[in-house]
Structure 1
């Protein structure tokens, strides 16, 4: 029992598609240290526990994208581990809190978070408790599970409970240290490769499976119960669903881990999208025929918040090819494409200027060359915190948003600040999967377009070669898997 445990805090947080040409490096990450790192947790419901002494290491966070460069990974992981070693040498640590995602891919590394946790364990030894908060789209390999004592993930997709998840991971760690509890853990993987858009917790079966976790957690002898969907857009052996239940009753946590894994496996064919789906042309046609406004189309294959590069122009070409949109009889907003050179041309032309630019492929997407876009500059926004300089080019009835850097469009305000009214057009096309809360609440109707890109929703056609086979749905007729938990 430790009255005021000394706990180190740090991590690297990014979701990485190995099918995306983007590479995440220094410019993509926000790095915090010292007091700035501890301030990261001021937004938690109750903040950092006053019953612990928190030791900040370093934390790096980036928008989802492609794999992390080997150079940046070596630099940031070395700094984190060096700071950890120095902190532990100065005064022995009682705990470590790892603030990670779980689906970080690194050039030349197949289990980045597992290797990080293993290195942390090597520094602090077997007696220091290590806790992690993670995204449910992360992957929990055996190496990661072995080297953590506690781990939890979000229970909502979209991740409206992300602050609660961090709070839970920290509170569980502090409680175990103060009460002298050494957690047991039961871990099992489920050979299912599932895109997150098929596991929205607004819908069954994910709603029921995740909804069961609080009741399990409340059982005497259980500390936490977590399910990871896994990350389908990386091609690594660890990519699959996983369950981890922690507690003090080894038999109980093993039984509950098996129960949750069995539930996920048996529901594998029941997971579906939250709304209707179509190819790009079908989705556009439905929006044009609908009287509902705002009408959203999810341009899902290049979603930058799932790991898409953000430079795929495919759906723009389909919008421009639609006769009503080309003539200006219909209207649509398209968000967006990374095209820094085209944005510079727009800024130089100024509002009302006519431009002929090429967009797409700035980061090297695999679909082909850039495409021409001719129109009028109808909006310019300089120095956006995420996207840099932004411009809107209107061609016929299509208002195409161009960005200097990768930028998601998750809020109605993202459009209004560019002078765009989402209710005044026939379609709002956003590079996203399931609609996040602000857009979901605004939408009168929506459809998910199955479009190409680094986070293509058609998992089978991506061409995985590194995942462990058999796995559903790549091997749809596979036999029953062994769902026996490993208990430590």
Structure 2
């Protein structure tokens, strides 16, 4: 146990981090601009709880270094990672001495030639800021937690809800725990880490339903115990093939026995529920889902085109789903069921529709520029229904009415999670018969809007059938890849404080 420290009445805290989910099963590559990095005091504007006059803002002197978050996608290029991390470290160096660092990251960033990128970057940050600075790390529950990442962090936590309705609450908790520790002058927390050999998709572990709902309810119970500061369960990220990818539990706090007992309780709860995890919605082939939607009286009926979900790391331009939808005879006639499809990137198609203008009939080709493994580029003829410029992700969006399907085409890939994403394009999803979205579980606004929905198990870089993707670098045995595996060792590993050497295997 490290020695108590002197309290810091108004500590200086830096904020830094890079975040992305990177599918190694997608051919896409992610470059530096995709992270939309913010620098200096602009970093503080990301967090409402650090607005001027808020309690946390006044409790410390906050200094932004660099924070960048990218839409989930493919592996980050070595050059992008080198450029972003070099600038982050340079800006951190320019801030001068600090007492604490809030490491705001995700946990599922795969980089060319680098395993465990978040831990590697934190180790470089540690070399710069020194061993005495207290680090609080906040993550997505779909991140991966290696022993090295736990070692480099003094406090570490993640979201407790999927969908992530508590994202900002989690970040605030990470910042508040850091401020409280610095103000108390107490010793570095004990950290109990338990790797759990389970790797499941987020759509199978949503906290909307059991068993995840109860598994995650136990987190707050553990956190409430005497001697515990924070507790967290990570599902891990299923669509990357790295040794660190698996579920994990970390509990932190001043009392070793309480922290270890809490971590083991949460790890056992997750492991014992492994056979009960199921998809958050009824699933089927795309045809089965479309048949169900058309036969149902529920409107609007949503179908998730899951295999190319851009918010899980899909390339976003797999044309297979849209090709299948447009081939259905029900939608050939403009008087058929009203459908919306979101979305398919096609820069040349967007340009052609923009040149033609609203109301024009155009023939364009889109999709399969990045991921053409399941279908080639799709040629479609339709009427230009809407044109919109300036979207943060898409750049320019165009809607083509093809038969009775309103197809959203984009310059760059974009997730469609909010009602305004559609109404901004003169579309009325509530009045549609069918809305097909490249997504996994429906985000809150869509979930609230849907009268009914199904998840179509479609191909792509985030295929929900994990066992057919071809993982070969994850640690084995691993459930569900090895369904009859023996009981794992779920005893708590007490990870050395960040100011002490780390020894032993990463197990």
State the TM-score, normalized to the length of structure 1: 0.96
Matched, 1:412 2:419: yes
**Map of 1:252 onto structure 2:** 258
**Map of 1:467 onto structure 2:** 474
Residue 143 (structure 2) aligned to one of 133, 138, 159: 138
Say if 1:298 and 1:448, in contact at 8 Å, map to a contact too.
Answer: yes
Change (3 A) 1:39 1:330: closer
Residue 281 (structure 1) aligned to one of 282, 287, 301: 287
**Map of 1:80 onto structure 2:** 88
Deviation sequence 1:233-270 (CA, Å, 0-9, x none): 11111100000000011111111111111111111111
Deviation sequence 1:200-240 (CA, Å, 0-9, x none): 11111111111111121111100000000000011111100
- 3-state SS of the aligned residue for 2:318? coil
Matched, 1:386 2:386: no
Aligned residues: 485
Residue 60 (structure 2) aligned to one of 52, 56, 69: 52
> How far apart, in 1, do the equivalents of 2:103 and 2:330 lie?
52
Deviation sequence 1:171-193 (CA, Å, 0-9, x none): 11111111112211000111111
**Map of 1:366 onto structure 2:** 373
> How far apart, in 1, do the equivalents of 2:440 and 2:236 lie?
16
Say if 2:73 and 2:310, in contact at 8 Å, map to a contact too.
Answer: yes
> How far apart, in 2, do the equivalents of 1:12 and 1:365 lie?
29
Say if 2:229 and 2:253, in contact at 8 Å, map to a contact too.
Answer: yes
Q: After alignment, is 401-410 or 389-398 more displaced? A: 389-398
- CA offset at residue 365 of structure 1? 4.2
- CA offset at residue 76 of structure 1? 1.0
Matched, 1:68 2:76: yes
> How far apart, in 2, do the equivalents of 1:351 and 1:396 lie?
16
> How far apart, in 2, do the equivalents of 1:49 and 1:485 lie?
35
Question: Hey, which bits of structure 1, 4+ residues long, moved more than 6 A?
Answer: none
- CA offset at residue 356 of structure 1? 1.8
> How far apart, in 2, do the equivalents of 1:379 and 1:157 lie?
33
> How far apart, in 1, do the equivalents of 2:44 and 2:441 lie?
32
Structure 2 residue runs of 5 or longer lacking an equivalent are 1-6, 496-507
State the TM-score, normalized to the length of structure 2: 0.93
Say if 1:303 and 1:432, in contact at 8 Å, map to a contact too.
Answer: yes
> How far apart, in 2, do the equivalents of 1:256 and 1:18 lie?
33
**Map of 2:167 onto structure 1:** 162
Residue 330 (structure 1) aligned to one of 337, 347, 354: 337
Residue 477 (structure 1) aligned to one of 479, 484, 494: 484
> How far apart, in 2, do the equivalents of 1:295 and 1:47 lie?
44
Say if 2:343 and 2:410, in contact at 8 Å, map to a contact too.
Answer: yes
- CA offset at residue 196 of structure 1? 0.5
> How far apart, in 1, do the equivalents of 2:428 and 2:153 lie?
48
> How far apart, in 1, do the equivalents of 2:64 and 2:143 lie?
24
**Map of 2:503 onto structure 1:** none
> How far apart, in 2, do the equivalents of 1:112 and 1:483 lie?
25
Matched, 1:399 2:399: no
